[in-house]
Chains A and B, each alone.
Chain A
Amino acid sequence: MSTNLIFILGLSIFIPVLVALFRWKKIGKAYYPFLLLLVIWLVNEIISYLLIKQKQSNAINCNIGYLVESLLITYQFNRWQLFNKNGNLYYFLMVSFVGAWLAETFLFESIRHFASHFIIFHSFAITLLSINMLNRLIASEKKGLLRNAIFLICVGFILFFTYSVVVETFYLFGLSASKSFQKAVTAILYAINFMTNLLYAYAVIWIPKKSRLMFTSSSW
């Protein structure tokens, strides 16, 4: 898969950002961390493309992106009141992410190498958090789930981060394979990324209006 094609697939993150821009005035504050995450993903894609074009590694910006992504998603779950009854878990996860990231990028490895362990760790954690969120939605949501932004976003997280765990695990333990083989495996993740970006765009359409947000059953 060529760099340009990868970049185009990655740029599909621009679609949900565009939808969010159109709906900006109607979007409730509780979804701002997710919207910020979309923008960060977009910026990261552009930086990565530019660096790769100049034959440089995009590991540093990606590693920083992984940390910000993990913290923002956890914060987003907190805004959706997932940790209401277990506030300590929220702080524990935040500290764990920062600790694990610092340990891998500065202690055991270098920030110039992709932090595969951290990717597996935070992807796994986000997948589990998303499943928890879905379980809560089943009990509390009074309307169809396919029009629920939180449900759609969580589905996107589950899909992307599950594959992310698989691909990164392969990277960790399949290094003896050729470059072309590794690229082919990574291409699967890009395809998944493209699909989840479309799903995020659809999810942004269903983000409830500011005033309505106050009256979702989970927020009372």
Chain B
Amino acid sequence: MDTKEIKAYVYIILLVILIGAIIMYFLISMIRQQRVTLELKKQNMRAELNSIEKERTRIAVDLHDGLAPIVSAIKLKVSSFDLADEVDKYQQQMTYEHLDDLAQRLREISFNLMPVALQRKGLIAALDELASYNSTKRSLRIQVDATPDEILENRHVAIHLYRIVQEIVHNTVKHAEATVLQIALYRNGANLVLETKDDGRGFDFEKLKDGDGYGLRSLLSRADFLGGELSIQSKEGLGTIYSLEIPTPSSPL
């Protein structure tokens, strides 16, 4: 290379460095911006989920502690009427049964909104209650294998884990045609693992339509919120396995 070419080459090298610097600046600012946006999104989601849970708790408590006793009192009152006429007796019986249905529905709604067991006894008790409820009301038998752990004392984590299980149970009942659903909750090193496995018909991801993804999106949102990884393995005819691994929370979420 002659002097001219060496000079040109130096310019080219400078140009290359300049382009590199511009690209790097562009990428770094992009990563920074994404981090800021992500943190904002997380804060918004946290606030939104917390307010939803608070509202659910309030409604559940109102239904459970406010309305349910009133319905029970009315039931008691109705059953105490001493009627002579057969038609009146029949009407009394019908009214009693309607009130009974109403009380039952109130309990179910309250339970779905926020189980009292989750509030008062913790996650494992709530999962046992969910299992017992589904075994009684539906043909799905749920087996819970959970290790009591101080991590589950974290109320926020417990609520989100419960909601995830609730959604999985809902999906299993609605779509899987399964008879057994196994739920395992255990510690894996510094992480907490939630695994569920059903013996249902499974599903093919490729065949899912847009609207079908709503429940799964909700699962993903909560998994992301907990800083965890959610994986779902499913094949038609071979059941579905949900696996969520979250880091042990060091501070309340």
Contact = CB atoms under 8 A, between A and B. Distances in A.
B1 A181 contact: yes
Chain A interface helix/strand/loop/mixed = helix
A86 interface: no
B232 A180 contact: no
A146 B5 contact: no
Contacts of A137: 34
Nearest to B234: A211
A211 B30 contact: no
Contact of B1 (A143, A162, A180, A220): A180
Contacts of A214: 205, 232
Interface residues of A, number: 31
A146 B38 CA distance: 14
A212 B229 contact: yes
The SS class assigned to the B binding surface is helix
Contacts of A144: 35
A48 to B, nearest CB: 23
Interface of A: 134, 137-139, 141-146, 155, 158-159, 162-163, 166, 170, 177-178, 180-181, 184-185, 188, 209, 211-212, 214-215, 217, 220
Contacts of B69: none
A206 B246 CA distance: 18
Given A177-B5, A215-B230, A166 B216 contact: no
Contacts of B5: 177-178, 180-181
Interface string B2-19: 100100110011011001
Contacts of B231: 209, 211-212, 215
Interface string B189-213: 0000000000000000100001001
B220 interface: yes
Contacts of A139: 37
6 contacts: A138-B37, A142-B38, A162-B19, A178-B5, A181-B9, A220-B217
Contact of A155 (B12, B16, B27, B38): B27
A184 B35 CA distance: 39
Contacts of A138: 30, 33-34, 37
A211 B30 CA distance: 28
Contacts of A188: 12-13, 16
Given A142-B41, A170-B12, 13 more contacts: A138-B30, A139-B37, A143-B38, A144-B35, A163-B16, A178-B5, A181-B5, A181-B8, A184-B1, A184-B9, A188-B12, A214-B205, A220-B213
